[in-house]
Amino acid sequence: MDQTSLEFIAAKTHLSVGEMQAVWGLAAQFDKSLNAPEALLRAFVEKRVVPTSFSHTRLFRRMARCEPSLFWDFPLKPRRCDSRFPLSTLLSELRFGLPSSARARVRKENYNEFLPVPSVLDRWLRARSVFGVTDLHYIGTGFDTRINTAALNDFNLLPRGTDGFQSQDSLVISSAGAVTDSHSDDHSGSNHSFTGAKLWLLWDTLDGLEHGLEDVERCQVHGRAAFELRTFLALPSSCWILIGPGQTMFIPAHLSHKVITLEPYLGLGSFHAGLPGFVDLLKRWTQLRPLWASRSRRSNRCSVEFLTRRAIRQIQWLRTATQRERLHWGVPHLQWRLRQRDVNGSDRHELEMPYDLREFVRAAAKL
């Protein structure tokens, strides 16, 4: 499949069986566990997260419901430019917009190596090997001044930075055929494609573990994590995203994901915590303690308590903020979430909540 046709398919809201076969057939070339008969493909139609136009209301509504989103017009673009980077300009910005001392961790099938960014880009252009780079931080570099990522962070409660509890804005570089094995992140995440396409399979982490879908962050895995397509499809939480050039996706933290690069990919990845989804983020961190909190010695800041206090301060500010500011931070969608039965229960129910969740709910109830 050529890049033009895959870009065309990623932009469509409805796919034919033939287009589904093309996408999943290509994915199966790189990961045999994704080989799907036609009868199974038909069941995937309702599981697809379709692209739509962006609005804060649409993003926050889905965030409050713990649902992923895919937008074709998210306001993320080069500064002083009305369209996305031409590939030649993008490559030039990547070569010269990062420090010469910067090294990218290049992940291959059985090992990692650290290479200068220009060497990685040369390897990506030659397309002679399969690799992926997912955590090349660009915050504070020249490249950071050339792309307007404000929209990714203007509703974000996480501090912007490179530590585990922060946003970790990073460049994503991968060749066709690169597979990121089934894993979960402790934060909700976003991904933007400048060029190329990826197939994302997503499912509830705990639900998947209960039914035999392994997660490399939570299981001792030898080789690749156990994954079975029919089991994936049977999970109520399962869904999939085909992200193409110019599109931006957002996924909640409770979803494990398996990612296959279908076409050579250059993009951005970031983590976020928004007010409409913060209740569920705290619930997630109660069920599965964040790995960044477990590994860190900086307990004063790199902690759930620190991020909860940060969220509560934002709520306190919003009590006297304008209606426009409250809408911008998703207050109506947070209020909707607080009215749901698993949160808005009896006083006894509230007392049974973990401390951080209880304090956040009490503060948010005063909005």
Confidence label for 3 from pLDDT (cuts 50, 70 and 90): low
Are 61 and 333 in contact by the 8 Å Cβ rule? The answer is yes
pLDDT for 111: 86
**AA letter at 31:** D
* Alpha helices, H only, the chain: 3-11, 17-30, 38-44, 56-64, 87-97, 117-126, 142-146, 150-153, 205-210, 229-234, 278-287, 291-295, 304-318, 323-328, 331-338, 347-351, 355-364
Mean pLDDT for the chain?
92
Q: Which tokens sit at 205?
A: 């982490």
Q: What span, in angstroms and rounded, lies between the C-alpha atoms of 327 and 147?
A: 25
Q: Which residue(s) pair with 11 in the sheet?
A: none
Backbone angles phi, psi at 248, to 5 degrees: -135, 135
Task: For residues 242 and 48, give the distance between their C-alpha atoms in angstroms, rounded to a whole number.
Answer: 8
309 CA to centre of own chain: 24
Residue 260 pairs in a beta bridge with 179, 199
How confident is the model over 74-109, as pLDDT tens digits?
A: 988 666 554 567 888 899 999 999 999 999 999 987
Tens of pLDDT, residues 130-165: 999 999 999 999 999 888 888 888 999 999 999 999
Burial class from Cβ neighbours inside 10 Å (0-12, 13-18, 19+) for residue 294 reads exposed
- Side-chain half-sphere exposure of 48, counting CA atoms within 13 A: 24
Could you give the 3-state DSSP secondary structure of residue 281? helix
> If DSSP codes are grouped into helix, strand and coil, which group holds residue 136?
strand
Residue position matching structure tokens 């994590």: 225
What is residue 240's three-state secondary structure? strand
Q: How far apart are CA 165 and CA 186, in angstroms?
A: 9
pLDDT of residue 50: 97
Q: Please, are residues 234 and 219 in contact by the beta-carbon 8 Å criterion? A: no
Sign, Cα dihedral of 143, 145, 150, 151: negative
Rounded to two decimals, the pTM is 0.94
What domains does the chain contain, in order, with CATH numbers?
3-273 (2.60.120.650), 276-364 (no CATH)
Rounded Cα distance, 89 and 84, in Å: 10
What pLDDT does residue 38 have? Answer: 83
- What tokens appear for 279 in the block? 């209740």
Calculate what percentage of the chain has a pLDDT beyond 90.
78
Please name the residue that has the structure tokens 């869904």: 239
Q: Do residues 180 and 259 touch, judged by C-beta distance below 8 A?
A: yes
DSSP code, position 320: T
For the four alpha carbons of 112, 115, 119 and 124, in that order, the dihedral sign comes to positive
Q: How far apart are CA 105 and CA 134, in angstroms?
A: 8
The Cα–Cα gap between 244 and 12 comes to: 10
Closest among 205, 155, 158 to 183, alpha carbons compared: 205
pLDDT in tens, 181-235: 999 999 999 999 999 999 999 999 999 999 999 999 999 988 899 999 999 999 9
Please answer whether residues 245 and 195 qualify as being in contact, where contact means their C-beta atoms are separated by less than 8 angstroms: yes
CA proximity to 267, closest of 354, 185, 198, 349: 198
* pLDDT tens, position by position, 275-333: 999 999 999 999 999 988 865 555 578 899 999 999 999 999 999 999 999 999 999 99
